[in-house]
Structure formats: C-alpha cells, structure tokens
Structure 1
C-alpha cells in the first residue's frame, strides 16, 4: 500500500467510535430515565388542574366546604398523592371562586440525587 492510498482509505472511513457510542448511549439512557420518572408527575399535575377547576365550579360557598369537596373528589379519583386541600388558596373574584395551588414533587433519580419539580396553577 502506498502512503497516499492509506490516507485516502482513512478519509473514506466513516462512523462512530466506541467512546462516541458509549457517550451517546449513556446520554440516551439518562434522558429516558428522566422522562420515565417525570411523566407521571406531569400527568398528576394535569389531574390536579382538572380537579381544581371542577372544585371551583361546584365546590361550595365557604372555604371549608370547598376544601372538603376537593378532598372528597381527590379521594374518589385516587391518582393524586402529592397534594391535598392544604395546598389550596381560595379567594373570590367578582362572585367567582378562584383556587390557586402550589406544590412540590421530589423525584428520586439515583443515590442521593433527586429532581425537584415545582407545580403551580389556578382555576379558570
């Protein structure tokens, strides 16, 4: 083989190195684990928003009634664990009940590493 032919064959080689393959594999696995662990938290958040909107429409007239109705609806639904009626801030705006809520969800990833998600919302 002549030196010029070995150079041209090296240029023609394409692909990914073993280190590159390992790097991308680790990155994809980490992203998949993150996605698998966070999607249920966002599904729960959507459930909370729906429940808060339902409670604002037909929850009651006083703060204790609204909180009791929220707890009853939450226990019937069974998918909301991160939040309770203590996280509700209930106000009135032009004879309309407005419910604000905020809660944190800590998701353990591995070892001492956790992901903290802060959810906030309000009734429509």
Structure 2
C-alpha cells in the first residue's frame, strides 16, 4: 500500500519570535517581584532568629529589648526595633514575644508591593 504525500504540506513546529517575546515579558513580570522580595525575606528570617535569641536570654521586657537591639545591630536589621516588640511576661518569665511590621517593595515606577510580616516566639 502506497501513501501519496505529494499534496500534503508539513506544519511548522516551534515557537515564533513574537511568542518568545511574550514569554520573556511574562517571565520578567513574574520573576522581578520575587527577586525584589528576597532581601526582605532574608531580613524576616534574621528578625525571627533575633527575637528567639532575645526571648531565650532575657527575663524582663527591658532585657528582651536590649538583647534584640544588640542582635539587630549584628544582623543589620532595620525594619523593626526592640521597642516595637510585644513582650508577654508573667512574674519574671517571658511567655511570648510577638512582632509585626510591613515592608514596601518598589516594583515598576509607581507600582509597589506591600508585605506584612508577623511572628511569635513562645
């Protein structure tokens, strides 16, 4: 059995230049906010670590504030200070330390992204 192929056209395969351009634009639009958010995520992890250390080392609110500020100086934390921490204590022992703050990240011209971070160390 013979199949005739003379009249059949083969379809093109692959991506067009226009399709590639649209794909790159979509990729950049999605990746840029993530790349710009990475430093604030790293700072959030440093804050969580500093709050945990301050809670473990202190017995009073003043000691927590002081210990956090010392660790914040070492870790270059600028988004929050020791005075902004909410310390729950009961008669000489720290029950929990809570923090919350917002970080604004500029994206494109007048467009920016606001991330609210919060955490509690018990």
Band of TM-score, shorter chain: 0.7 to 0.9
1:6-85 aligned within 5 A: 8-10=9-11, 13-59=12-58, 61-78=59-76, 80-85=77-82
Give the match for residue 87 of structure 2. Answer: 90
Counterparts of 2:73 and 2:29, CA distance in 1: 34
- SS at structure 1 position matched to 2:10: helix
1:94-109 alignment, distance < 5 Å: 95-109=93-107
The alignment covers a number of residue pairs equal to 117
TM-score where L is the length of structure 1: 0.82
Structure 2: tracts of 5 or more residues without a match: none
**Alignment check: 8 A CA contact 1:57 1:97 kept:** no
CA distance in 1 between partners of 2:67 and 2:50 (Å): 10
Query: Following TM superposition, where does structure 1 have runs of at least 4 consecutive aligned residues deviating by more than 2 angstroms?
Result: 2-5, 92-97
> Which structure carries more helix by proportion?
1
| 8 Å CA contact 2:54, 2:67 repeated in 1 | yes
Query: What per-residue deviation string (whole Å, max 9, x for no partner) do you get for residues 80-110 of structure 1?
Result: 1111123311003694431000011100112
CA RMSD in angstroms, aligned pairs only: 2.2
